[in-house]
Amino acid sequence: MTDSVELAITRAHHEEWARVVAGLARRFGDLDIAEDAAAEAFAAAVERWPSDGIPANPGGWLTTTATRKAIDRLRRESQRDAKYQAAQMLYDEAPPEPRGPLEDDRLRLVFTCCHPALAMEARIALTLRLIGGLTVDEIARAFLVQETTMAQRITRAKVKIKAAHIPYRVPSEADIRDRLAGVLAVIYLVFNEGYLAGGDDPLRVDLTEEAIRLGRLLHNLLPDDGEVTGLLALMILADARRAARVSRAGELVTLAEQDRGAWDRALIAEGHALVRERIAAVAAGGPPPGRYQLQAAINAVHTAAPSLADTDWSQIVSLYDRMAAVDPSPIVRLNRAVAVAELDGAAVGLAEVDRLGDALDGYHAFHATRADLLRRLQRSGESRAAYDRAIELTGNSAERAYLTRRRDQLGD
């Protein structure tokens, strides 16, 4: 297989997987058929594109091939009932009629997979697999669990869907409110996986752009929902820094070292406008901000500062205090400790970080944070050990390169 064909298949998987699966899930109403047929279509592309050439419309080719694979599967299983008749109707070129308030297949599938009959973790994991096209290992890292644990979680979710006869229908407007928290979590985790991807590709722009696209669709659907607006603002403000986050050598560039002139000022202005919109709504008597709005506000403070030294760390610590009241997770406390270290010194920050050791020992950012604070306190031996542990745990190539360089710069 030539490099150009391999690149085309990789790009098609990044860009078209969710479209193909979502379209088949809507048409056939069966998740297994949709996922299996999509996988078979991509396998066919690997087999045929090297000899036949890359099609002019890879997405269309994959959709057509996957549809035929799905129909063939139904024929093999002799399911010549309503499902089979529905499959035959796919040859009709007329566009499908709108079936509910969600008119984008991928967003429909996110809401459909976030059925309240499934545990929250299962809803998120299943949708990450189908919409983001993430591997089980990537999803496991996002959840900070073992790969085998995540595989079992996804399998159990599929079994429960079949056993409970959960329909893959477009949710009603009432359903949307019930499933919104899970949908927001899905979109945010898809964004995070693209923003700090595993493997050799430190950034997966297809995932960050897909998450932002879904966030915009959701904001258009629910413009007055504070957390929807907050999540969109958070992703936009983080994505605004994308061009400055990885060096030409493929190394992560931390916030302190980033060229702020490379930040996307149009995206920052858009994100700040969304944050101001939410501040005004809360001041006018609206509900208090949730975790996404608070995270967006923290990012607004960072992106408003002309340099790290000019950052209003007192305000950031205050925002993390409010966030800890909403989401008292160890990761929130870790991020707060980083801000405390900037405000009150590395020793104070390290004391807070060390209190989280039992909860975050398997989390690479915990050890990377300790390593940096220990370096600043000139405790080189302990810093080196913490860098070693962080390097061992991180799955991102750019972050690994950065941590390795910082470790190697330590003195005795």
**pLDDT tens digit at each of 412 positions of the chain:** 678 888 898 888 878 888 899 888 888 877 788 888 998 999 999 999 998 999 999 999 999 999 999 998 888 775 555 554 555 444 434 344 444 555 667 777 777 778 778 887 788 788 778 877 777 887 887 676 889 999 888 888 888 877 777 766 666 777 777 788 888 988 898 888 788 766 667 788 878 888 898 899 889 878 899 999 999 999 999 999 999 999 988 899 999 999 999 999 999 999 999 999 999 999 999 999 999 999 999 999 999 999 999 999 999 999 999 999 999 999 999 999 999 999 999 999 999 999 999 999 999 999 999 999 999 999 999 999 999 999 999 988 889 999 999 999 997 6
State how far the Cα of 219 lies from the Cα of 232, in Å rounded to an integer: 7
Fold of 329-408: 1.25.40
Q: Is-contact 179 165, C-beta < 8 A?
A: no
Q: Among candidates 278, 81, 106, 250, which has minimal Cα distance to 190?
A: 106
Q: How far apart are CA 214 and CA 191, in angstroms?
A: 10
Inter-CA distances, 22 with 16, 148, 154, 245, 310, Å:
10, 26, 17, 32, 46
216: helix, coil or strand?
A: helix
pLDDT of residue 374: 97
Residue appearing with tokens 């997405």 = 59
In this prediction, residue 293 carries a pLDDT of: 97
CB distance 169 to 387 below 8 Å:
no
As given in the structure block, the two tokens for residue 220 are: 């258009």
Helix (H) or strand (E) holding 368: helix 364-376
CB distance 158 to 126 below 8 Å = yes
Q: First and final CA of the chain: distance in angstroms? A: 49
Q: How far is CA 387 from CA 292, 337, 408, in A?
A: 30, 18, 9
Q: Is 376 helix (H, G, I), strand (E, B) or coil?
A: helix
For residue 200, the model assigns a pLDDT of: 65
pTM of the model: 0.76
Q: Could you give the CA distance from residue 185 to residue 290 in angstroms, rounded to a whole number?
A: 13
Rg, the chain, Cα only: 23
Q: Are 168 and 25 in contact (CB under 8 A)?
A: yes
**What is the Cα–Cα distance from 315 to 320, expressed in whole angstroms?**
9
Query: Residue 28 corresponds to which tokens in the numbers above?
Result: 């056939």
Both tokens assigned to 352? 């807070």
